[in-house]
Amino acid sequence: MNKEEKKEYNRKWRIENPEYHKNYHQQHRAEILKRQRERQQKPEAMAKKKSYMREYRQRPEVKARAWKRRQKPEYKAKAIERGKNWRQENPDKVRKYYEKNPDKYKESTKNWREENPEKRRVLNQKRKAIKHNANGSHAAKEIETLRNASMGYCVGYIRKPHYVSKENLTVDHIIPLSKGGSDDISNIQLLCKSCNCRKHDKIPPSLAH
Protein backbone atom coordinates (compact mmCIF):
# COMPACT_ATOMS: atom_id res chain seq x y z
CA MET A 1 0.00 0.00 0.00
CA ASN A 2 1.51 3.29 -1.09
CA LYS A 3 1.15 6.66 0.64
CA GLU A 4 -1.93 7.80 -1.29
CA GLU A 5 -3.75 4.47 -0.83
CA LYS A 6 -3.02 4.52 2.90
CA LYS A 7 -4.30 8.10 3.13
CA GLU A 8 -7.54 7.13 1.35
CA TYR A 9 -7.96 4.03 3.53
CA ASN A 10 -7.59 6.12 6.71
CA ARG A 11 -10.08 8.68 5.45
CA LYS A 12 -12.74 6.00 4.76
CA TRP A 13 -12.07 4.34 8.10
CA ARG A 14 -12.64 7.66 9.94
CA ILE A 15 -15.96 8.12 8.11
CA GLU A 16 -17.08 4.60 9.01
CA ASN A 17 -16.00 4.90 12.67
CA PRO A 18 -16.92 8.45 13.75
CA GLU A 19 -17.41 7.66 17.45
CA TYR A 20 -14.02 5.99 17.85
CA HIS A 21 -12.38 8.83 15.93
CA LYS A 22 -14.11 11.44 18.13
CA ASN A 23 -13.19 9.65 21.40
CA TYR A 24 -9.57 9.24 20.30
CA HIS A 25 -9.26 12.97 19.57
CA GLN A 26 -10.76 13.90 22.92
CA GLN A 27 -8.36 11.61 24.81
CA HIS A 28 -5.23 12.68 22.89
CA ARG A 29 -6.10 16.30 22.09
CA ALA A 30 -2.86 17.85 23.44
CA GLU A 31 -0.66 15.32 21.64
CA ILE A 32 -2.52 15.78 18.33
CA LEU A 33 -2.33 19.58 18.52
CA LYS A 34 1.39 19.37 19.27
CA ARG A 35 1.99 17.21 16.18
CA GLN A 36 -0.09 19.58 14.04
CA ARG A 37 1.91 22.60 15.21
CA GLU A 38 5.19 20.82 14.47
CA ARG A 39 4.02 19.96 10.95
CA GLN A 40 2.77 23.50 10.31
CA GLN A 41 6.10 25.00 11.38
CA LYS A 42 8.12 23.03 8.82
CA PRO A 43 9.48 25.28 6.01
CA GLU A 44 7.80 23.28 3.24
CA ALA A 45 4.42 23.38 5.05
CA MET A 46 4.69 27.14 5.62
CA ALA A 47 5.63 27.73 1.96
CA LYS A 48 2.69 25.61 0.81
CA LYS A 49 0.27 27.50 3.06
CA LYS A 50 1.62 30.87 1.88
CA SER A 51 1.17 29.83 -1.76
CA TYR A 52 -2.37 28.60 -1.09
CA MET A 53 -3.39 31.79 0.73
CA ARG A 54 -1.98 33.92 -2.09
CA GLU A 55 -4.14 32.03 -4.62
CA TYR A 56 -7.14 32.02 -2.26
CA ARG A 57 -7.10 35.82 -1.83
CA GLN A 58 -7.22 36.24 -5.62
CA ARG A 59 -10.63 34.53 -5.91
CA PRO A 60 -13.37 37.01 -6.97
CA GLU A 61 -15.75 36.05 -4.15
CA VAL A 62 -12.98 36.39 -1.54
CA LYS A 63 -11.98 39.79 -2.93
CA ALA A 64 -15.62 40.94 -2.79
CA ARG A 65 -15.99 39.86 0.86
CA ALA A 66 -12.71 41.51 1.81
CA TRP A 67 -13.68 44.77 0.09
CA LYS A 68 -17.07 44.81 1.84
CA ARG A 69 -15.42 44.15 5.20
CA ARG A 70 -12.89 46.96 4.69
CA GLN A 71 -15.70 49.51 4.21
CA LYS A 72 -16.92 49.12 7.79
CA PRO A 73 -15.82 52.05 10.03
CA GLU A 74 -14.77 49.74 12.87
CA TYR A 75 -12.58 47.72 10.47
CA LYS A 76 -10.88 50.88 9.18
CA ALA A 77 -10.22 52.10 12.73
CA LYS A 78 -8.72 48.74 13.74
CA ALA A 79 -6.60 48.60 10.56
CA ILE A 80 -5.23 52.10 11.19
CA GLU A 81 -4.42 51.26 14.81
CA ARG A 82 -2.83 47.93 13.80
CA GLY A 83 -0.68 49.64 11.17
CA LYS A 84 0.37 52.36 13.60
CA ASN A 85 1.41 49.80 16.24
CA TRP A 86 3.32 47.74 13.67
CA ARG A 87 5.29 50.78 12.46
CA GLN A 88 6.20 51.68 16.03
CA GLU A 89 7.37 48.12 16.74
CA ASN A 90 9.31 47.75 13.44
CA PRO A 91 11.06 51.08 12.73
CA ASP A 92 13.94 49.35 10.88
CA LYS A 93 11.59 47.59 8.45
CA VAL A 94 9.70 50.84 7.85
CA ARG A 95 12.94 52.70 7.12
CA LYS A 96 14.14 49.98 4.72
CA TYR A 97 10.81 50.03 2.88
CA TYR A 98 11.01 53.81 2.43
CA GLU A 99 14.59 53.52 1.19
CA LYS A 100 13.60 50.86 -1.39
CA ASN A 101 10.43 52.66 -2.52
CA PRO A 102 11.11 56.43 -2.37
CA ASP A 103 8.80 57.32 -5.28
CA LYS A 104 5.92 55.29 -3.89
CA TYR A 105 6.41 56.87 -0.46
CA LYS A 106 6.44 60.40 -1.89
CA GLU A 107 3.29 59.72 -3.91
CA SER A 108 1.37 58.26 -0.94
CA THR A 109 2.49 61.16 1.27
CA LYS A 110 1.37 63.68 -1.34
CA ASN A 111 -2.04 61.99 -1.66
CA TRP A 112 -2.49 61.89 2.13
CA ARG A 113 -1.73 65.59 2.44
CA GLU A 114 -4.24 66.47 -0.26
CA GLU A 115 -6.94 64.28 1.31
CA ASN A 116 -6.29 65.39 4.92
CA PRO A 117 -5.53 69.15 4.95
CA GLU A 118 -6.73 69.61 8.55
CA LYS A 119 -4.66 66.71 9.90
CA ARG A 120 -1.66 68.01 7.96
CA ARG A 121 -2.13 71.45 9.54
CA VAL A 122 -2.34 69.92 13.03
CA LEU A 123 0.92 68.00 12.46
CA ASN A 124 2.66 71.17 11.26
CA GLN A 125 1.31 72.99 14.30
CA LYS A 126 2.67 70.29 16.60
CA ARG A 127 6.13 70.76 15.10
CA LYS A 128 5.91 74.51 15.72
CA ALA A 129 4.72 73.88 19.28
CA ILE A 130 7.70 71.59 19.96
CA LYS A 131 10.03 74.22 18.47
CA HIS A 132 8.65 76.87 20.87
CA ASN A 133 8.45 74.43 23.85
CA ALA A 134 4.70 75.10 24.04
CA ASN A 135 2.43 73.13 26.34
CA GLY A 136 -0.79 71.40 25.33
CA SER A 137 -1.98 69.96 22.05
CA HIS A 138 -5.13 69.64 19.96
CA ALA A 139 -6.56 67.22 17.40
CA ALA A 140 -8.11 67.73 13.97
CA LYS A 141 -11.50 66.63 15.37
CA GLU A 142 -11.41 69.49 17.90
CA ILE A 143 -10.77 72.02 15.13
CA GLU A 144 -13.65 70.53 13.14
CA THR A 145 -15.94 70.89 16.18
CA LEU A 146 -14.82 74.51 16.62
CA ARG A 147 -15.39 75.19 12.92
CA ASN A 148 -18.93 73.78 13.04
CA ALA A 149 -19.73 75.76 16.19
CA SER A 150 -18.56 79.00 14.53
CA MET A 151 -21.23 78.67 11.80
CA GLY A 152 -18.78 80.35 9.43
CA TYR A 153 -18.26 83.52 11.50
CA CYS A 154 -14.82 85.04 12.06
CA VAL A 155 -14.50 86.32 15.67
CA GLY A 156 -12.62 89.34 14.29
CA TYR A 157 -9.41 91.11 15.24
CA ILE A 158 -9.86 94.85 15.96
CA ARG A 159 -13.17 94.55 14.12
CA LYS A 160 -16.59 93.04 14.75
CA PRO A 161 -17.38 89.38 14.09
CA HIS A 162 -18.37 88.82 10.48
CA TYR A 163 -19.45 85.96 8.25
CA VAL A 164 -16.92 84.43 5.79
CA SER A 165 -18.05 80.73 5.61
CA LYS A 166 -16.49 77.77 7.42
CA GLU A 167 -14.08 76.96 4.55
CA ASN A 168 -12.49 80.43 4.72
CA LEU A 169 -11.74 80.33 8.45
CA THR A 170 -8.12 79.81 9.48
CA VAL A 171 -6.68 78.62 12.79
CA ASP A 172 -5.03 81.19 15.05
CA HIS A 173 -3.43 80.96 18.49
CA ILE A 174 -4.98 83.65 20.71
CA ILE A 175 -1.66 84.01 22.54
CA PRO A 176 0.99 83.17 19.90
CA LEU A 177 3.30 80.23 20.49
CA SER A 178 6.26 82.58 20.11
CA LYS A 179 4.91 84.63 23.06
CA GLY A 180 4.50 81.64 25.36
CA GLY A 181 1.01 80.58 24.29
CA SER A 182 -0.29 77.01 24.58
CA ASP A 183 -1.15 74.70 21.69
CA ASP A 184 -4.25 73.56 23.57
CA ILE A 185 -7.67 73.98 21.93
CA SER A 186 -8.57 76.56 24.61
CA ASN A 187 -5.93 78.90 23.11
CA ILE A 188 -7.25 78.56 19.55
CA GLN A 189 -9.72 80.73 17.65
CA LEU A 190 -10.87 80.85 14.05
CA LEU A 191 -10.18 84.00 12.03
CA CYS A 192 -10.61 84.92 8.39
CA LYS A 193 -7.39 85.24 6.39
CA SER A 194 -7.27 89.05 6.55
CA CYS A 195 -7.80 89.14 10.34
CA ASN A 196 -5.23 86.39 10.84
CA CYS A 197 -2.65 88.27 8.76
CA ARG A 198 -3.43 91.52 10.61
CA LYS A 199 -3.05 89.83 14.01
CA HIS A 200 0.11 87.89 13.00
CA ASP A 201 2.02 87.24 16.26
CA LYS A 202 0.36 89.99 18.34
CA ILE A 203 -1.39 89.43 21.65
CA PRO A 204 -5.01 90.70 21.62
CA PRO A 205 -5.36 94.11 23.34
CA SER A 206 -7.77 92.63 25.89
CA LEU A 207 -5.02 90.22 27.05
CA ALA A 208 -2.01 92.50 26.63
CA HIS A 209 -2.03 93.81 30.19
Tell me, yes or no, whether 176 lies in a domain.
yes
Q: The CATH number of the domain where 168 resides is what?
A: 1.10.30
Q: Number of C-alpha atoms within 13 angstroms, CB side, residue 138?
A: 27
Tell me, yes or no, whether 168 lies in a domain.
yes
Tell me, yes or no, whether 26 lies in a domain.
no
Tell me, yes or no, whether 92 lies in a domain.
no
Alpha-carbon span 69 to 63, nearest angstrom = 10
Domain that holds residue 173: 117-207
pLDDT tens digits, one per residue of 17-31: 888 878 888 888 889
Tell me, yes or no, whether 16 lies in a domain.
no
The 3-state DSSP class for residue 169 equals strand
pLDDT of residue 209: 58
Number of domains making up the chain: 1
* Regions of the chain with pLDDT less than 70: 208-209
pLDDT tens digits, one per residue of 60-105: 999 998 888 888 888 888 888 999 899 999 999 989 988 898 898 8
Percent of the chain predicted with pLDDT > 90: 34
Tell me, yes or no, whether 175 lies in a domain.
yes
Closest CA to 157 of 206, 113, 116, 118: 206
In which region does residue 133 sit, left (phi positive, over 0), alpha (psi from -120 to 50) or beta (all else)? left
In which region does residue 202 sit, left (phi positive, over 0), alpha (psi from -120 to 50) or beta (all else)? beta
Tell me, yes or no, whether 76 lies in a domain.
no
pLDDT of residue 19: 84
Residue 203 exposed, middle or buried by CB count within 10 Å (0-12, 13-18, 19+): middle
Q: Which residues of 154-176 are buried (b: 16+ CB within 10 A; e: fewer)?
A: bbebeeeeeebeeeebbbbbbbb
Give the pTM: 0.54
